[in-house]
Amino acid sequence: MKLLILSLCIIANLSNNGKASLESFMPTKDNMILADTTKGSDKSCSRPCKFNVKPRRCTYDFEISPSIEENGRPALTINNLTPGPAIQVCLHDIVIVKVKNKVPNQDVTLHWHGVEQKGTPYMDGVPMITQCPIVFGSTYEYAFIASSPGTFFYHTDSVSHQSDGVYGSLIVDQPQPLEPHASLYDYDRSEEHTLMVGAKFNELLTGHLEGVNQIRPDNLVVNGDEMDTKIFVMQGYGYRLRLINAIALECPLLINVERHPMTIIASDANPLQPVITDAVRLYPGERMDVVVRTDQQSGGYWVRVSGEGVCEGLSAHAMLLYSGFNYTTMLEQGPNPESETNYDTITDSQHLPSLREASPVPSVKSVYLSIDKNSPKFKDADIDFSYRSDAMSKKPFFPAVLSSVKSVVQINGKNFLYPDAPYLLKPRDVHPNIICNVGEENEQMEPQCLQVLKAQANEVIELVLGNEGFNTNDSYTFHMHGQKMQVIATWQNPKNVPVSKSEIYKLYSEDIVTRNERNPPLKDTFVVPNKGFTVVRYTPIYGGSWLLECRSCSTILPVAILINVPISIPKLVIDALPSCGNYRPADLLLN
């Protein structure tokens, strides 16, 4: 622990140019970074955030283990809870989470979804990219600065582990005068008014070696319950609600509050120009902050969550309860299905303008990412289960899972391959044969490779993600680690026919597609519609190895690229982090 805390001090030398100090992210430049000077006061990190108060160290102990819920369902839990313990801190607090893995025969990591990890890129929680996996029986200590306010959450890197219950909310508050939309609401009760939606399955996805893609959730839950979550309010006030889609599969959600319009004020922890709507659509991993005014007759009202995509037909409910209302009858009667689907307006945040204007961009580097389902061509003889050493000559390796599926989602015709050593910490130990540069994937004969996009600090990169739709009718949600992206444009072919790379660039260059370069929304989670495309701009501000992934694209073979921005991490920090020893990912052992 001492070494890891010392590493936090070392990151005073880390940033985009390796010289900015950790104190620059603090409200004051005091050398006692880790000192708790709040003696005699409430030690809880969940507290009203104030000016001129030193940050606190917020320490949490997580034990991830299998469990049986009260209804008999198997689950993976954190401290016997799913969702896991809520983390609520103030801006600039230091978050320390000690994670112990008690899941037999499983490796885990925790990713802090939306957290920028300024100065701590090795705390992002991606196995074999930013850290070694946490093997059964071992403990890993995460430590990072809550450097940006907003609504975040955490989950395991594994889609199966997250689907089985390992996720929880992470809220970073700031002093109320700093909130850009504070005038729109009277109460921001993050602990009570955060609605995290998850999916439940009849069986554990963890441990399934095949057929996971065919397993579908059978119900939705809000804060772990189908209908028991309660939001207590008083009549005549405005309340800020924080909505989180914590589902790892391609499951968009429609959320509305009965007879109460919502005002959208933020998405993915970034403020937006306020928009009033009847219902909002949240994609997997997306968060949205809304304001609800309690201006209806005193009583009880249903908050309805409806699933789309793989969750089509599933729903969950919470209750908005005015002070003094007895909700017994409301529970007995249940929701009225006829009054819940008539929405005049449904809004998603990807098209909404940001509250702040973007700076002009003199030039951009354009990179195209082709997204589609493909059927890798191979013969049965190409599938090899034997171990081969690096000294032996080898033919292209096709994972055995390809023999049981007709097609897989790929980026530029390849699936992502996790490296044989942590890429961020020990890039020289990564076998060079598994690396392929984005845009040059055709030089790699195998269907999987470590797809790397090399970027420089402050270089403006425009990613054009084309969901061409030649072999699929699915839309896909992407998540960017470490930093937000500007969503410049999103377009879907109204003719519902596939589009090629050349057609996409022609549409984009001729201004046929609406572009927002003035005040584009800042997002870390965005959707790429089928037979269409999304254009995002990314300007690396600080170094690291950051994953751009489509978690919901596949539970079989990863779909992602790695954006690498040069950084120099002190040897003292690397030595303080747990080493992988002789650990290798399963696909590398067979490759």
Query: Which pLDDT value is given to residue 517?
Result: 94
DSSP characters for 279-340? EEEE-TT-EEEEEEE--S-SSEEEEEEEE-GGGTT-EEEEEEEETT---HHHHHH---GGGS
Q: For the residues 189-216, what does the mean pLDDT come to?
A: 84
Residues 167 and 257 in one domain: yes
| Res. 406 pLDDT band, cuts 50 70 90 | confident
Query: Which pLDDT value is given to residue 454?
Result: 96
Query: Which pLDDT value is given to residue 340?
Result: 60
Phi, psi dihedrals of residue 345, rounded to the nearest 5°: -135, 135
More confident call, 377 vs 80: 80
In a domain, 358, yes or no: no
In a domain, 359, yes or no: no
CA distances 7 to 11, 16, 123, Å, are: 6, 17, 11
Q: 525-528 and 476-480: which strand pairing?
A: antiparallel
Query: Which pLDDT value is given to residue 382?
Result: 60
- 33-65 per-position pLDDT tens digit: 333 444 434 457 999 999 999 999 999 999 999
pLDDT at residue 296 is higher than 80: yes
In a domain, 357, yes or no: no
Residues 310 and 443 in one domain: no
Task: For the chain, give the mean pLDDT.
Answer: 87
Contact (CB, 8 A) for 264 and 274 = yes
- 308-319 per-position pLDDT tens digit: 999 999 999 999
pLDDT at residue 303 is higher than 80: yes
Residues 415 and 277 in one domain: no
| Res. 512 pLDDT band, cuts 50 70 90 | confident
> Per the structure block, which two tokens stand in for 84?
């896991």
Closest listed residue to residue 123, CA positions, set 517, 569, 549: 569
Q: 238-245 and 287-293: which strand pairing?
A: antiparallel
Distance CA 448, CA 558 (A): 9
pLDDT at residue 11 is higher than 80: no
Residues 556 and 430 in one domain: yes
Query: Which pLDDT value is given to residue 510?
Result: 86
Residues 326 and 380 in one domain: no
Distance CA 538, CA 486 (A): 7
In a domain, 328, yes or no: yes
Q: For the residues 177-194, what does the mean pLDDT come to?
A: 96
Q: For the residues 289-302, what does the mean pLDDT come to?
A: 96
Query: Which pLDDT value is given to residue 441?
Result: 93
Contact (CB, 8 A) for 249 and 310 = yes
Query: Which pLDDT value is given to residue 391?
Result: 46
Q: The whole model's pTM is what?
A: 0.90
In a domain, 560, yes or no: yes
Domain boundary among 351, 380, 405: 351
Distance CA 157, CA 248 (A): 10
Determine the Cα angle at 216 with ends 75 and 69, to 5°: 20
Q: For the residues 269-280, what does the mean pLDDT come to?
A: 98
> Per the structure block, which two tokens stand in for 176?
């109320």
Phi, psi dihedrals of residue 80, rounded to the nearest 5°: 65, 25
pLDDT at residue 436 is higher than 90: yes
Q: For the residues 97-116, what does the mean pLDDT come to?
A: 96
pLDDT at residue 220 is higher than 60: yes
Distance CA 184, CA 290 (A): 10
Sheet containing strand 315-322, edge to edge, reads 229-233, 315-322, 300-307, 253-257, 279-282, 346-347
Residues 259 and 383 in one domain: no
Query: Which pLDDT value is given to residue 341?
Result: 66
Q: For the residues 240-256, what does the mean pLDDT come to?
A: 97
Residues 340 and 374 in one domain: no
Our measurement of the distance from residue 281's CA atom to the centroid of its chain's CA atoms, rounded to an integer in Å, reads: 16
Residues 370 and 345 in one domain: no
Q: For the residues 100-118, what does the mean pLDDT come to?
A: 95
Query: Which pLDDT value is given to residue 29?
Result: 32
Distance CA 471, CA 74 (A): 35
In a domain, 568, yes or no: yes
Distance CA 449, CA 174 (A): 42
Query: Which pLDDT value is given to residue 291?
Result: 98
Q: For the residues 547-556, what does the mean pLDDT come to?
A: 90
Query: Which pLDDT value is given to residue 400?
Result: 66
Q: Name, in order, each residue with C-beta under 8 angstroms of 509's C-beta and a sequence gap of 6 or more.
A: none
Q: For the residues 11-20, what does the mean pLDDT come to?
A: 36
Residues 338 and 259 in one domain: yes
Taking the CA atoms of residue 466, residue 469, residue 472 and residue 474 in that order, the dihedral angle to the nearest 10 degrees is 60
Query: Which pLDDT value is given to residue 31?
Result: 33
Closest listed residue to residue 270, CA positions, set 30, 484, 16, 92: 484
In a domain, 464, yes or no: yes
Domain count, the chain: 2
Residues 141 and 236 in one domain: yes
Residue 173, strand partner residues: 90
> Which helix (H) or strand (E) covers residue 530, if one does?
none
- The rounded percent of the chain whose pLDDT value lies above 90 is 72
Query: Which pLDDT value is given to residue 544?
Result: 95
Determine the Cα angle at 228 with ends 222 and 232, to 5°: 95
Contact (CB, 8 A) for 264 and 518 = no
Residues 120 and 159 in one domain: yes
Distance CA 387, CA 189 (A): 55
| Res. 375 pLDDT band, cuts 50 70 90 | confident
Query: Which pLDDT value is given to residue 44?
Result: 78
Domain boundary among 298, 317, 351: 351
pLDDT at residue 135 is higher than 70: yes
More confident call, 33 vs 509: 509
Containing structural domain, residue 404: 365-590
Residues 33 and 101 in one domain: yes
CATH number of the domain to which 157 belongs: 2.60.40.420
In a domain, 356, yes or no: no
> Per the structure block, which two tokens stand in for 44?
């809880």
Q: 94-101 and 57-68: which strand pairing?
A: parallel
Q: Which sign, positive or negative, has the C-alpha torsion 349, 351, 354, 360?
A: positive
